[in-house]
Structure 1
Amino acid sequence: MTKDFSPVPTFDAMLLPTIKALQILDGSGTNEEIYEKVTQILNLSDEVLEILHGNSSRSEVEYRLGWSRTYLKKYGLLENSARGVWSLTSTSVNANDLDIKEIVKVVRESHKNNLTSVETSDEIVDYPETLEEISWHQQLHNILSTLEPSAFERLTQRLLRESGFIQVEVTGKSGDGGIDGVGIARINGFLSFHVLFQCKRYQKSVTSSQIRDFRGAMQGRTDKGLFLTTGTFTRNAIKEATRDGAPPIDLIDGEELVQRLKDLGLGVKIEMIESVEVDANWFKKL
């Protein structure tokens, strides 16, 4: 039996906070919204949130929280849409009435023949999360982390163009305060505004001071910024990006980056597999 001495909460310790987070969010939420609420409920420090999962740019909290969502889905308490929005299957569920050990036991027993390892509070538990999804996420993260800085800047340029930006230029001048490029975002073909962006191929978490430095470089040049990284953002960095009275900065972390690349089909191919099911009841009506 292997003990977990990590300061990161185990996935089973985040089961009930995940339910409570969705209740706070009125029954549904994105991965990012659930992550923010769960970390607030558990009062996790930035030091804990910055711990990475292995050699990936995904944090250990995000990784384990992904298992929490999957267990709750397999248990029948959650469902998710193709757009990545998770929701409670019943709004009347009471988190205080749920038994964590029972959830883990039921899900584990229902998948004994298809196993992989996940850490819990007191042992290594075998369970088949969506390994295919984890695999492509991790593979894409690894590729992004090995790109040359200039290649990553070109990827960001392509990503913005595919997302509807026009006149996207990579500047990347040294001494330019971290400004890597500029583009024009268009809204419904009518409104447009200039955006300065910084793209950081980063394994660690972007801090609030880096956000402030970026905003300082934006001063007098635009009212909108975009900070894109293969890593993550600290809680204070997220707060700084949306601080009242300061020019707003949109943030895209590593997880959202790989998802957007997938949605746009940039370096990611999606194969649809046809499933054919025979309806025996239909023949009985003949």
Structure 2
Amino acid sequence: MRLMSKRKLSETVGWSESGGRRWINYFNDYIPHIKKGNSVLYNESSIDVLKIIKQLSESGLTQKEIHHLIREKGIPKDISEISQITKNVNSNLNDIPLSRDIMIPFLQVISDKKSYTSSYINEELTKIFKLTEEQRTRSYENSKDSIFITRIRQVRYGLKKSNYIEEISQSIYQITQSGLSLLNDNQNEIQEEIEDMEEVKDPFEVMTEQFNDIRKELAKSIIQKIKKAHWKKLEYIIVELLVAMGYGDGKITGKTNDGGIDGIIKEDKLGLDNIYLQAKRWDNSIGRELVQSFSGALDDMGAKKGVFITTSHFTKNAIEYAERLQSKKIVLIDGETLAKLMIDYDIGVSVKEKFIIKKIDFSYFDEE
């Protein structure tokens, strides 16, 4: 098997050493590599993966967008899959300016050397690119962040890091002499600088992405532990979780029949309003039949509230059935949601380390 250095890998896929090195480092977790002593070496599989990443980049996607795609869907297998992905993504993103297209207009908005708030700059950029309200507020899949505002933030950090703008007060920016000089450079020099700034990553965003990755891995580990534990452990977990979430006092019922109740949460001291629980430590999906059986058990108890928790997931029919119920409310919690709730409410986890991120207090430096 032919092994190669990072420099050789960059050259093989058609990137310069410095450009390729940045992309390889950023996607290190997804590019196959071999550690040999103190060296990191790459093989043919590494070439295939990096070529795919390069093609995605050339389609107009940023590093962050490519990373999001790969993290959610994995590495595309072939050209047709790449084409389909870029087609789907670009249909949603192409009519919104890329970070590289925003950089110079951002500087032009504040080129009169006056100070401007970030909200003013955002509004001016919206006008420059003639974005509709839908384009301005459109968000990434599974995210509340506006695509356009996210890209402006990336640009703002890159310009600040490169000393082209200065934050003179909280969210108030002013162009620097270097920024004015950049506007006067020729097109080739501007383009080179834009390419360099595209590689600049906001450390806070990097930490956020890493934090989310750690949470996902922890959630997977939690579910694996539950599946390996005694089957009754899940019943104790769900009672403890709902108590921790503030729903009241709880207890395990000890019943074992499939249509029965595994636990009860008393929302008041007298037990006038109860939440009935059922837990299924399964690998297979939970269908409508099981949820319907749980609904029948609630009817037998005269209950109006139920929580059905599983380590696997619910079928579409099961979810739709629960949503259509009129006389009672059944909340379905799948394995992924269960693990996230356990993390949030410190059930089965402990604090490993805490990090505090601080920012400058502009008011401290203001003259009285």
User: Please, what TM-score do these two structures have when normalized by structure 2?
Assistant: 0.43
**Quick one: which amino acid aligns to residue 231 of structure 1?**
S
Q: Which residue of 2 aligns with 1:185?
A: 267
Q: Are the counterparts in 1 of residues 256 and 262 from structure 2 also a CA contact under 8 Å?
A: no
Structure 1 Cα separation of the partners of residues 87 and 281 of structure 2: 32
Corresponding position: 1:212 with 2:292:
yes
Structure 1 Cα separation of the partners of residues 300 and 258 of structure 2: 13
- By how many angstroms is 1:242 displaced? 2.3
Q: Which residue of 2 aligns with 1:163?
A: 245
Q: Which residue of 2 aligns with 1:142?
A: 224
Structure 2 Cα separation of the partners of residues 135 and 274 of structure 1: 22
Higher helix share: 2
- By how many angstroms is 1:235 displaced? 2.2
Candidates 198, 203, 206, aligned match of 2:278: 198
Higher RCO (CA < 8 A, seq sep 6+): 1
Structure 1 Cα separation of the partners of residues 257 and 304 of structure 2: 20
Candidates 223, 230, 250, aligned match of 2:311: 230
- By how many angstroms is 1:194 displaced? 1.5
Q: Are the counterparts in 2 of residues 176 and 217 from structure 1 also a CA contact under 8 Å?
A: no
Structure 2 Cα separation of the partners of residues 167 and 280 of structure 1: 47
Residue 169 of structure 1 aligns to a residue whose secondary structure is strand
Q: Are the counterparts in 2 of residues 71 and 107 from structure 1 also a CA contact under 8 Å?
A: no
Q: Pairwise mapping of residues 64-83 of structure 1 onto structure 2 (< 5 A)?
A: 72=147, 75=151
Q: Are the counterparts in 1 of residues 288 and 319 from structure 2 also a CA contact under 8 Å?
A: yes
Q: Taking every aligned residue pair, what percent have the same amino acid on both sides?
A: 25
Structure 2 Cα separation of the partners of residues 11 and 182 of structure 1: 49
Structure 2 Cα separation of the partners of residues 207 and 135 of structure 1: 27
**Quick one: which amino acid aligns to residue 151 of structure 1?**
K
Cα distance change on mapping 1:13 and 1:160 into 2, 3 Å:
same
Gaps of 5+ in 1: 18-22, 29-33, 39-64, 79-104, 114-126
Structure 1 Cα separation of the partners of residues 220 and 152 of structure 2: 27
- By how many angstroms is 1:273 displaced? 1.0
Residue 251 of structure 2 aligns to a residue whose secondary structure is strand
Q: Deviations over 1:107-153 (max 9, x none)?
A: 99556x9xxxxxxxxxxxxx978422322222223222322211111
- By how many angstroms is 1:224 displaced? 1.6
Q: Are the counterparts in 1 of residues 219 and 343 from structure 2 also a CA contact under 8 Å?
A: no
Higher strand share: 1
- By how many angstroms is 1:197 displaced? 0.9
Higher Rg: 2
Cα distance change on mapping 1:257 and 1:192 into 2, 3 Å:
farther
**Quick one: which amino acid aligns to residue 154 of structure 1?**
Y
Corresponding position: 1:174 with 2:248:
no
Residue 321 of structure 2 aligns to a residue whose secondary structure is helix
Cα distance change on mapping 1:263 and 1:140 into 2, 3 Å:
same
Gaps of 5+ in 2: 1-51, 53-75, 94-132, 155-194, 204-208
Structure 1 vs Structure 2 CA RMSD:
4.7
Q: Which residue of 2 aligns with 1:82?
A: none
Cα distance change on mapping 1:130 and 1:224 into 2, 3 Å:
closer
- By how many angstroms is 1:240 displaced? 0.8
Q: Deviations over 1:75-110 (max 9, x none)?
A: 4599xxxxxxxxxxxxxxxxxxxxxxxxxx999955
Equivalent residue pairs, number: 202
- By how many angstroms is 1:211 displaced? 0.9
Q: Pairwise mapping of residues 32-71 of structure 1 onto structure 2 (< 5 A)?
A: none
Residue 308 of structure 2 aligns to a residue whose secondary structure is strand
Structure 1 Cα separation of the partners of residues 86 and 216 of structure 2: 16
Q: Which residue of 2 aligns with 1:87?
A: none
- By how many angstroms is 1:277 displaced? 5.6
Q: Which residue of 2 aligns with 1:251?
A: 332
Q: Which residue of 2 aligns with 1:240?
A: 321
Structure 2 Cα separation of the partners of residues 192 and 12 of structure 1: 56
Q: Which residue of 2 aligns with 1:55?
A: none
Structure 2 Cα separation of the partners of residues 192 and 11 of structure 1: 56
**Quick one: which amino acid aligns to residue 226 of structure 1?**
V
Q: Which residue of 1 aligns with 2:345?
A: 264
Structure 1 Cα separation of the partners of residues 197 and 88 of structure 2: 15
Structure 2 Cα separation of the partners of residues 182 and 246 of structure 1: 19
**Quick one: which amino acid aligns to residue 249 of structure 1?**
I
- By how many angstroms is 1:241 displaced? 0.9
